[in-house]
Amino acid sequence: MTSTMEIIQEMIRRIVAKFDPEKIILFGSYADIVGGIIYPALREGKVVYEGAA
């Protein structure tokens, strides 16, 4: 069984591979799982990927 975190990581990998984004920000309840910080994650989102500058 694939965990939610594994699914999120796979989604991030696919987005990065196809679109080469500067940054990916996760909003909503799963942003808390990724970062462990409820208020900023729900209010502002959680950066889950940031490309090299």
Angle CA 37–25–21, to nearest 5: 150
Residue 15 has a pLDDT of: 93
Q: What is the pTM of this model?
A: 0.60
Cβ atoms 47, 25 nearer than 8 A: yes
Residue 43: pLDDT over 70 = no
Cβ atoms 32, 41 nearer than 8 A: yes
Chain-centre distance for alpha carbon 52: 16
Taking residues 14-36, what's their average pLDDT?
A: 77
Q: Which residue has the higher pLDDT, 38 or 27?
A: 27
Q: How many beta carbons lie within 10 A of that of residue 50, not counting itself? A: 11
Cβ atoms 3, 33 nearer than 8 A: no
